[in-house]
Amino acid sequence: MCELSIIRIWFYKIFIVEDDKVISQKMAEFLSSWNYQVRQVHDFSKIMEEFIAFDPDLILMDITLPHLNGYHWTLEIRKFSKVPILFVSSANDDMNIVMAISQGADDYITKPFDLQVLAAKIQALLRRTYDFNSQSHFIEHKGVRFNVEDNTVSFQDKSIELTKNEAKILRLLLERKNSIVSRDDLMEYLWKTDYYVDENALSVNVNRLRKKLEQIDVRDFIITKKGIGYLV
């Protein structure tokens, strides 16, 4: 078999939901060698909590899992996220493939599989979702979905409209997610003026944004780094 020539992708996060420890570890080691950031599920009763905490760019999902199956977790994830999901299963009959796709899966690969084929499928999904979707009007993080076109933010089945300044703050924080955004950067982005702007004005706008997010049950989303800035 000839090896596929695949361009390596850096920093994408992949969440592996697979109860076979040998297969899960092999996938994790292989994908880590390709510079993906990989996390394997630890507690199969808390898949949603681990998914939200890790905030992956792609999920590898088995069908048969402890407690509840992969179909269930895919449906739960699809209630508030469009993250690509690739099913990895030994069930190779058409019915299971159809079921997975109908529940929200984006692709399906059957065990046993060549790891190079898995890498190719992952790359295709990531490219289709993120590279070709650069004109998307949505930014998503930890289940929070921000529409940059109409300045609405949604979480699960709730949504709320933001003011212009609230939207600008949230957009910059999301564009730099997992990194601290300094107060100076936020103030410059908000007001873009050479005139002095009281820092209290920024604090007021951030607090208003937090209260808006709380109205849709999003709490502790914006973290204050005292004396430095903010982080989501």
The per-residue pLDDT for 1 is 37
Per-residue pLDDT of 25-57, as tens digits, reads: 999 999 998 888 899 999 999 999 999 888 888
**pLDDT per position as a tens digit, 71-87:** 999 999 988 888 999 99
Answer yes or no: is pLDDT of 133 > 70. no
Which domains are delineated in the chain? 13-131 (3.40.50.2300), 138-231 (1.10.10.10)
What is the CA 100 to chain-centroid distance, rounded? 20
Q: Which pLDDT score, from 0 to 100, does residue 2 have?
A: 39
- What is the H or E stretch that residue 230 is in? strand 229-231
Q: Which amino acid is at 121?
A: K
Res 5: pLDDT: 37
What percent of the chain clears pLDDT 70, i.e. is strictly above it?
90
Residue 197 has a pLDDT of 58
The secondary structure element, H or E, covering residue 222 is none
| Cβ within 8 Å of residue 78, ≥6 positions away | 103, 104
- Residue 147 clears pLDDT 80, i.e. is over it: yes
pLDDT tens, position by position, 204-214? 999 999 999 99
